[in-house]
Amino acid sequence: MRYKLSDIAQILAQPIARDANRVIQYLVTDSRNLVEPKQSIFFAIKGPRRSGSAYIKDLYQKGVRVFVLDEPFDTTDYSEAVFFTVTHTVAALQTIAAHHRAQFSIPIIGITGSNGKTIVKEWLYQLLQPDYRIVRSPRSYNSQIGVPLSIWQMAEDHQLGIFEVGISAQGEMQALANLVKPTMGVLTNIGDAHDEGFKNVQDKINEKTKLFAAATEVIAATDFIPEALQTNPIVVSWGSKPLLTPGHPMPTLQLLQQQKQAHHTVLLLQYHAEPFSLKVPFTDAISIQNVITCVLVMLQMQYDIAIVQTRVMELQAVEMRMQLRKAINQCYVLNDSYSNDKLSLSLALQFIQEQANQQPIIAILSDIVASGQPAQSLYQEVAQLLANNQVKQLYAVGPDISQYFLNELNQPMQFAVLCFANTEQLLQHLQETMFQQSYILLKGARKYGFEQVAHWLEQQVHQTIMEINLTAMVHNLKLYQSLLKPDTKLMAMVKAFGYGSGAGEVARRLQQQQVDYLTVAYADEGVTLRKAGIYLPIMVMSADAYSFDAMVNDQLEPELFSFPILHAFHDYIAKQGLTDYPIHIKLNTGMNRLGFDSKDVPDLCKWLSQQNRLRVKSVLSHLAASEDPTEDAFTQEQVNLFDDACQQIEIAIGYGCIKHIANTAAIRRHPEWQFDMVRLGIGLYGADATTNPPLPLQPVATLKTTVAQVRMVKAGETVSYNRSGKITRDSVIATIRIGYADGFSRRLGNGIGKLWIGGQLAPTVGKICMDMCMIDVTDIPNVKEGDQVEIFGKHIPIQSVANAADTNAYEIMTGISLRVKRVYIEE
């Protein structure tokens, strides 16, 4: 279903003076997700620090001609464009989507809750797809922006919609409920996520259940929802506990018994009066809950129990995040077979293009199944997406996508194409020489089994990995940005391999987020970033004469901290015949590490005022104890010395420069010391010893490994070197694949360190070995070889590991060995 621009104007109650017959097919809220400019509307949404209107010029140059905005904008240079000025841009987006939703009368399943929304949505898609053409939310598109973009995908051929809806505060649900208007509701659970946005649990319940105003029934678990909701007459429940509703002592679907096996769980259920068994291919409690919710949805949709039993056993785990992994021949592979539709393809291409920079991009795509769109127009749009994102080679797998590109072989194409009927044919054709220093996007419908291709492409190396969640990093960045004054710049610290996270990958995402400056410790780190396509200004903290060539060649800016290094760099710049080369002056105000002392400032000012080769870009100093309230008087003294020196320097040089002294802790504790710029370091990665004011940081790095072996050890025996682990009871000991060569400190041996396995903490036993360590899993049932173990991450904060090792989070992060594979995650 396509709209004309005149239709959009009518929906928004806006006048229109030109282009009334322009076809509108795409609603764009992110300038990177541009498919067909001439058929797009860009919604200039205001963010906490930047407005979408800043991207209008670039989009206009790319061919976009329709814009929606809610703030004044000079349209003088945009004579061919149509501008709709509305009260609120997001509300306008929702209004258009609501009109589109009203054109359809198909059944809609609306899912909300504190957790599990995306999993339930994707499993319902797997279970129901054989019988329906389904439109569903891409990935976790459940926000005020994501929901309308999901609704916009609805097309005439769709027979069922499945949409997830998430809220974080009072008053957010009504607008989304008006959009989705589900005929069946699913409430996964009510937990403590986003508690800060509601007065109490009852307010949260009232707000979330507004989604179900038009629903005839709501599927919910009585074991995981408050009592107040159990008495609602439209709630159809499952659970193991009696209901409170008079006359209805048990839920509609009863969980009578469950028996966990090594790789599956057998459930005994009863639907109304009919008992049946269900074999579930998962063993963890959360997956069991989500499966039962999906089962009740199917039963309420009149599915036979036999069909339910068969399809549940075919369920596959949902990987909710895009993962960028190292692959053969210095390649990276992005395995995003989590979903396969146009919007998720656009998101994946956007992510991989940001990471690839100038390196070639190869796409391996399967047919897009059940899109509800004619194949010709569907793959025409896919081809445009690939071209827009600089894909150089396409491997097309499946009859539909292959047929389209085979028909187009005589047409000019911006990328090379090879077509295959199925995955087996592709695997027979592949050779390692086809992939050299490239970024590979792997995106296929579930039935194509692209995990075989991923296995072929990925390097099979050390099973210990560190996941770097780039989405969480951006979340943390925005939290700190929200504490800044509007004009305060932000310098991000990416030294020491991005605090162990991978400097290039981290820097690319920070560049995309438009931070103002990057900082590295040494020039070679800056050179690496330049080679990775980073064009932001980069300050080098530890400049020396041997690095001058590299810095100038790659336009790196040195931090100069003494007269000898200042004079040496000045002489080098003079020999090169350069002027106004940017430098950063480091002052020592109490850290006593590097920097000009206060007594040196008059001579420094005199020298700076008498030369023109160097231009002072910024003046900085380092706070020694900004996180410690007991040292606030000392910190204030540092700031006073810094402020006085900066004033002297600016008077001497005759122009203003950027001044910065605040680090991660000071951003939170001392907003009055922001000056012109702040430096964000460990907080960017989710670790900050400061607790006031509270800040809901997310862990960026998760260090994981696996169990290599499990053995019984009798009381009186010992474990590890020097018989250091004394066993006092018959125990189950698991050997895991991480040791001090990976960065797991020897200080964490002998029970000091604790690791997360099977939903519990397990203490180390004996000394940490070079490549392995042992943990006591006696009280944790069913631990087996291959089980995943978390060293730090979601369940074990890195600060806890640092405390146990009597160090700080910096040392833990930067100490993770480079032999530990980094996997980059985008949620």
Q: Which residues are bridge partners to 108 per DSSP?
A: 161
d(CA 341, CA 133) in angstroms, rounded, equals 13
Q: Is the Cβ–Cβ distance between 396 and 420 less than 8 Å?
A: yes
Q: Measure the CA–CA gap between 390 and 291, rounded to whole angstroms.
A: 40
**DSSP calls for 174-220:** HHHHHHH--SEEEE----STTGGGSSSHHHHHHHHGGGGTT-SEEEE
Which amino acid is located at 438 in the chain?
Answer: S
The rounded distance, in Å, linking the Cα atoms of 671 and 662 is: 9
Spell 103-114 as b/e; 16+ CB within 10 A means b. ebeeebbbbbbb
Please check whether residue 219 is in contact with residue 296, taking contact to mean a CB–CB distance below 8 angstroms.
Answer: yes
Q: Which of 28, 86, 90, 88 is nearest to 60 (CA)?
A: 28
Q: Are 405 and 386 in contact (CB under 8 A)?
A: no
What is the residue whose two structure tokens read 């309230």?
629
Going edge to edge, which strands form the sheet with 557-560? 658-660, 614-621, 581-587, 557-560, 538-540, 517-520, 489-493, 677-680
CA gyration radius, the chain:
29
204, 208, 495, 704: which one is catalytic? 495
**826 touches 321 (CB < 8 A):** yes
Distance of CA 496 to the CA centre of its chain: 22
Contact in structure between 271 and 256 (CB atoms under 8 Å): no
Helical (H) or strand (E) element with 566: helix 563-575
Q: What angle do CA 793, 813, 49 make, to 5 degrees?
A: 80
- Helix (H), strand (E) at residue 299: helix 285-300
Quick one: which H or E segment has residue 792? Answer: strand 788-792
Whether omega before 763 lies within 30 degrees of 0, making that bond cis, reads no
Q: Is 55 a catalytic residue?
A: no
Q: What does residue 790 show for φ and ψ, rounded to 5 degrees?
A: -100, 130
Scanning 419-469, the segments in alpha helix (DSSP H) are 423-429, 451-457
Residue whose tokens read 């293009």: 353
> Does the active-site annotation cover 495?
yes
The residue count for the chain: 827
Helix, strand, coil shares of the chain, percent, nearest 5, are 35, 25, 40
Residue 397 zone, left/alpha/beta (φ > 0; ψ -120 to 50; rest):
beta
Half-sphere exposure of 578 toward its Cβ, with a 13 Å CA cutoff? 17
Other residues' Cβ atoms within 10 Å of the Cβ of residue 581: 20
Residue entry with tokens 């949505």 = 121
Give the number of other Cβ atoms within 10 Å of residue 788's Cβ.
Answer: 13
CA distance 611 to 165: 61
**Spatial contact of 164 and 142, defined as CB atoms under 8 Å apart:** yes
Smallest Cα–Cα separation from 445: which of 687, 147, 125, 137?
Answer: 125
Helices of type H across 334-437: 342-356, 375-388, 399-407, 423-429
List 535, 721, 784, 794, catalytic entry: 721
Beta bridge partners of residue 51, listed in sequence order = 46
Query: In one letter, which amino acid is 737?
Result: R
Active site residues: 495, 721
